[in-house]
Chains A and B, each alone.
Chain A
Amino acid sequence: MRVSCLQENLAKGLSIVGRAVSTRSTLPVLGNILLEAKDNQLRLAATNLEIGINCWIGAMVEDEGAITVPARLLADFINNLPPERIDMELSVRTQTLSLRCARYTATIKGIDASQFPFVARAQADEDEGGSMADVIDGVTIPLEAANLRKMIDQVVYAASTDESRPTLTGVEVRFRSNELRMAATDGYRLSVRSVIFDEAIGPNEEIMVVVPAKSLGELARIAADADDEEPVKVIVAQSRNQILFQIPGNKDEARGSFQWVELSSQLIDGRFPDYNGIIPKSRDTRTVVDTAELLKAVRVAFLFARENNNIIRLTVMPDGKNGADDNKGQLRLTATSMEMGDSVNDIDAQIDGGEIEISFNAKYLIDVLSQVDQPQVVLDTTQSTRPGALRPVGVGEDEYLHVIMPMHPNR
């Protein structure tokens, strides 16, 4: 193998695939990154057997070939090089990779590329004998990168991090005709986001998969560097056990660019809980507030609430704090810490309905409010023991909805 590429491109590629490198594995090769030079491209690949990432960067290939080298050492070395051309050469006999860039040289001992596990790709090379059949014989759905990233950001935080509840560590993704819907819940809150496209993007028959939240988080991160003009392709394997995202690179990116990335992930095998039943069907009180103001008030209350299990109490006061005012409602946020003191913050609110007191986990409110782009949010409540529904004003209920279970402050 003899190949040359630009330092900034290689560094970028390594930072992308590096996230899939297994840090604690008994298989040494999983701590490595695969480099494969072929067709004037350099493919970088890493996998922890749950997520796999392939990244193609532009390169000049003199001799084709492949090798795996320790991920950490390679990335640290490349990151310290000046933004110039890097020449790499593999000694097949010793399985060592020599690198040269400006006045730096290094040789890194590798492990034979044939030892590296297969990292799923959208298209297998001909000489690999269609080994990717299980991925590609699926459904391909084109999506806008920016849209996809936003959707992921708006649901992924609601997924559970508790590994003992595997299904809830995933995000339910449904494709159907012209609709894409994502939902995540950790049992205490639920975030549902849906996008309706002008034309059909998916099959008529619904495809429903549970994607690990971690994998979607990686996807959102990579999509930040994507070309927004070109769609991200989503491929769901026929056997519904794997999903693959093909993300086109942004070639104009000055800080290093990739040609495209393919992120593949195992899917979570399990039935996602039916959440339709827990979405509140009615409301007694509707409270509309300024998103940024509410977020700030919650953050301030959180300073006290974090000493008290994150409990903040919301008091919805339709007539304002001093009784009959000129119809100016107030939303009061109270947080109490036994040891530190307490805080009471009022913000203006348009209120439709009766007074209510309801306690929420401050962290949950911060999570959702941080992801709302619209200037106003609406909070619908019924009773202080029943879930509250929160969504941005101007967005349909079926487009973005967040449901939070209140806390019992006295238990």
Chain B
Amino acid sequence: MDYNCAMIAHRTIMHLDLDAFYCAVEEQQDPSLRGRAFAVGGSPNGRGVVTSCSYAARKYGVHSAMPMAQAVRACPDLLVVPTNFSAYRTVSRKVMSKLRLFTPLVEQLSVDEAFLDVTNLPGSGETLARELQASIREELGLPASLGVASNKLVAKIADNIGKDRAAQANAGYPNAILVVPPGQEAAFLAPLPCRELWGVGPKTAERLHELGIERIGDIVRFPAHELTRLFGKHGTDLIHRAQGLDDRPVCTEREAKSVSAETTFSRDIADGQELRRTLQRLADDVARRLRKSGLAGSTIKLKLRWTDFTTPTRQLTLARATDDAMVIYTAVETLFRQLWPPGTPVRLLGVGVNGLAPQPYQPTLWEMETDEFLQAEEQMQRRTKLRDVIRELDGRYGLGTLRRGDNSQ
């Protein structure tokens, strides 16, 4: 992972992003969707949002994170496809293992995004990118766009820009490749809006705008000492990034810093019992994921969103790391009691654990008999699902609405 920059003239880094990944997977499973305006996400009747949308839908102004109801208004013919995360995960795993065959230096960023360090592979960055794009299309049937540059920052921006340009030029998947040759980083970035830079959110953009800085090139031209005076350390980082400088290595193992789960209610909830039940469920979920990745954390965090969208959080640190649902729930319930005035409606609840460290691994007895173990796990998951439904019904209609058939009299 350590690079001795003096020894390497320049690196070749690729950023790969699967185009409208969820939609592409849905199209594979249902070819009739091809070319149609559709969106993957929650129902337009509740508070569902667009998780991903086809390029045909984007023409109507539909974009991800948009409330589904609004998307349907913008595009009345929009087909709404429910999300099928397990299918996406399966396909994603195939893609990622394909990338790892290409080079072991892969840093996976999400289900559909990764950095690759191809410095030591024979061939130019562009040739390698074409090769990889073609093999993903031919062997897995998925469209992908790539950005190639001498570092992660510029490679990612190149990928975004390449995609945008291709999307404007044609209606289908972008399948873009954009290469920024070494030495051209600053020139490539200069005309782009500041928002493209990593670390420039709406607030920083606003402040830059007040200084008359609109494009990345403006940052470079702006007196450096002024920027550092106004933005502190962040100012120095901004200047470096605007110049296209980034020496972060491609990390093959991205360590989870936190595990969290949250839920937005389909209607605001003011009932303490129901809220606690939700906390319990979220704590169960977080604990299960911790255990799955062999981690334990000592900082327990509660996130709450009131109806006016203010989102206070509270956290507490335990004496020792835990992956136990009960411990997490107890901690988060304590925070909840401190934060929640009884009867106040709540829009969103979240539970998180950070301060993660690997649990000295206690393997299970069934690890040797994987099938058996998986079956038990699967059954357990089904039961958990059932329990959640019962909890939900209990919460809505009162305790004991749904009981085992033999229990009712």
Contact = CB atoms under 8 A, between A and B. Distances in A.
A405 B365 contact: yes
Contacts of A164: 284, 287-288, 325, 380, 384
Contacts of A282: none
B366 A270 contact: no
Contact of B379 (A167, A239, A275, A405): A167
Contacts of B326: 161-163
Contact of B366 (A131, A187, A242): A187
A166 B383 contact: yes
Interface centre among B288, B363, B383, B409 (most CB of A within 10 A): B363
Contacts, number: 99
Contacts of A161: 326
B372 interface: yes
Interface residues of A, number: 46
A278 B404 CA distance: 33
Contacts of A25: 399
Interface string A235-261: 000010110000000000000000000
Nearest to B404: A241
B223 interface: no
Interface stretch (B42-50, B67-75, B146-154, B353-361): B353-361
A270 B325 contact: no
Interface centre among A190, A270, A278 (most CB of B within 10 A): A278
Contacts of B373: 273
Contacts of A361: 362
A243 B188 CA distance: 74
Interface in A66-90: none
A188 B367 CA distance: 10
Given A49-B400, A273-B372, A407 B380 contact: no
B324 interface: yes
Nearest to A240: B406
B365 A411 contact: no
A325 to B, nearest CB: 33
B372 A407 contact: no
B383 A270 contact: yes
B409 A405 contact: no
B241 to A, nearest CB: 37
B398 interface: yes
Interface centre among B288, B326, B362, B367 (most CB of A within 10 A): B362
B365 A185 contact: yes
Given A187-B366, A271-B379, A277-B369, A162 B324 contact: yes
A167 B373 CA distance: 12
B376 A408 contact: no
Interface string A355-391: 0000001000000000000000000000001010000
B389 to A, nearest CB: 14
Interface in A145-180: 161-168
B368 interface: yes
Contacts of A234: none
Given A164-B384, A270-B383, A278-B366, A411 B325 contact: no
Nearest to B376: A273
B308 to A, nearest CB: 30
A187 B365 CA distance: 6
A26 to B, nearest CB: 5
B273 interface: yes
B360 A409 contact: yes
Contacts of B168: none
Contacts of A275: 365
A285 B43 CA distance: 61
A162 B360 CA distance: 19
A324 interface: no
B29 interface: no
B356 to A, nearest CB: 14
A188 B362 contact: yes
Given A162-B324, A270-B383, A403 B365 contact: yes
A166 B367 CA distance: 19
A241 B405 CA distance: 10
B377 to A, nearest CB: 8
Interface string A295-336: 000000000000011010000000000000000000000000
11 contacts: A27-B399, A49-B407, A162-B325, A165-B376, A187-B366, A271-B376, A277-B372, A278-B368, A309-B359, A403-B365, A409-B360
Interface of B: 273, 284, 287-288, 294, 324-326, 358-369, 372-373, 375-376, 379-380, 383-384, 387, 398-400, 404, 406-407, 409
Interface of A: 25-27, 49, 118, 131, 134, 161-168, 185, 187-190, 239, 241-242, 266, 269-271, 273-275, 277-278, 308-309, 311, 361, 385, 387, 403, 405-411
Query: Nearest 3 pairs between A and B by C-beta?
Result: A411-B361, A408-B361, A187-B364
Given A165-B376, A410-B360, 14 more contacts: A49-B400, A163-B326, A166-B383, A271-B375, A273-B366, A278-B366, A309-B360, A405-B362, A405-B364, A407-B361, A408-B361, A409-B360, A411-B360, A411-B361
